[in-house]
Structures are given as structure tokens and as C-alpha cells.
Amino acid sequence: MLIAGFNKTSFVDYPGVISSVVFTPYCNMNCWYCHNRHILADNGLNLVEQEDVLDYLEKRAGQVKGVVVTGGEPTLQPDLIFFISQVKELGLLAKLDTNGTNPHILKKLMDRKLIDYAAMDIKAPLNKYSETAGTSVDIEKIRESISLLMNSPMPYEFRTTFAPTLTQEDILEIADDIKGARAYYLQQYRPYTGPAAQGTISVSPKAHPRQYVLETSEKMKEKLGVCTVRGL
């Protein structure tokens, strides 16, 4: 599997688990605020050898308890299932971060019990998805991934970056798309200072005010039943 970055130790990427984080290159979305844009194209990728990552994980298995596979979009990697199976053979927990565009891969991982936790980005209300993702999105695949997670006993979370292009009304509308969700996180937007996404916003606008984010979170909690703010 292609690996574009490796964070050896993280205390925040897998709830309650000391983990290592593997970053896969490439993505099928073009979110203008993405902070991992440097690994989304072939230009200047500094790939990490998969075997080096697995060797490190084997040596640190007593200290590192889990592995987060993020991106980019990991489900684009042909060898994702094999890589995670190798992680599981080391006795480690596995968390997948995904945009939900490949539910068939998500289902395979879940059916084979290869992942222990999943975090799925909900970019926007479903009727505003392509605008926020910067490309055409098959909404039915997003719906399918949402359904897979919500009907599974496996721990999961949905999360939305509260980009300045989204309003409080947009966030509240998301509640209708994930009604009954067990966990939802509203993530504060951080201005992106790298090269702008082609064909989208060329200058990163300011984040929503702190109070607006907190008010939105409270209203979301009232409507959905769950909502936690990250990044304030």
C-alpha cells in the first residue's frame, strides 16, 4: 500500500487509544480547506516503505495500541485490506478515516472485522455535497456508507469541518441525514495556508466565530441528540 506519511505516536487521532497514524496519498474529492493537499497528487510525494511501517509497529506493539489509516482517501488504495490485515495480525486495533465514497470497501473491512473504529466525514448536507467537496459526488454511496455504520455495533463517528462556506442551517440539516447517529463531531475550521484548491476558493476565509460554533453545536445536540465540538 502506498504510504505518504507516518506519524509514529498520536494521542488524539483514535479516541482513547495511543496510536500510530498512516497517511495514504490521493483523494477523489477536492475540498478547498484540506490540510493534507500536499499528498493528494503525484507531485513531490515522499513515500514511506510499508515494511518499515510494519516493522516499527511490531517493535512498538506494547506501547502503540492501534493504527489510524487516513489520507487522502484510504479506500482508493488497492492494498488497503491487505495492509490492515497485517496490522491486525500484530494484535493492534485499527481505525479507518474515510469520506464514505467507497461503501463496498468499507463493508468488506467491517464484514472481515478488520477495523475496530471508523470516522466518516460528512462534508455538508447531502444536497450541498458536491459544492463543498469540489467535485461531483455519488450521494447514494454516501448514504450507503452512513447506513453501514449506523447499523453496525462497531464504534464510529461522523464529523463535519465547519467551513466558512457552511452555515448553521447547513449543519442542522445534516442531522436529518444521520438521524440516530451515536457520535457526531463538529470540527472548527482552520484556515488553509498552502496552495489553494484548483477551481475553488483561492483565499481561505476566516473561521466562524467561537460563539457561533458553540451555538451551532448546542442546536445540533438538541436536534440530533449528540454533538461535540473539536478544535476550539
Cell 491486525, residue located: 88
Output the tens digit of pLDDT for each of the chain's 232 residues: 999 999 999 999 999 999 999 999 999 999 988 888 778 777 768 899 999 999 999 999 889 999 999 999 999 999 999 999 999 999 999 999 999 999 999 999 999 999 999 999 999 999 999 999 999 999 999 999 999 999 999 999 999 999 999 999 999 999 999 999 999 999 999 886 665 444 445 556 889 999 999 999 999 999 999 999 999 8
Beta strand segments in 111-223, E: 117-121, 156-162, 184-188
Q: Which three cell numbers stand for residue 106?
A: 468499507
Q: Where are the alpha helices (DSSP H) in 67-151?
A: 80-89, 103-111, 129-133, 139-150
Q: What is the pTM of this model?
A: 0.93
pLDDT digits (tens, 9 = 90+) for 85-139: 999 999 999 999 999 999 999 999 999 999 999 999 999 999 999 999 999 999 9
Q: Helices (H) and strands (E) in the chain — how many of each? A: 7, 8
Rounded distance between C-alpha atoms, residue 184 and residue 65, angstroms: 24
DSSP string, 5-60: EEEEEESSSSTT--EEEEE----S---TT-TTGGGSSSTT---B-HHHHHHHHHHT
Instruction: State how far the Cα of 52 lies from the Cα of 13, in Å rounded to an integer.
Output: 21
Grid cell of 141 as nine digits: 454511496
* Cα–Cα distances in angstroms (integers) from residue 81 to residues 65, 159, 198, in the given order: 19, 23, 31
CATH fold of 5-230 reads TIM Barrel (3.20.20)
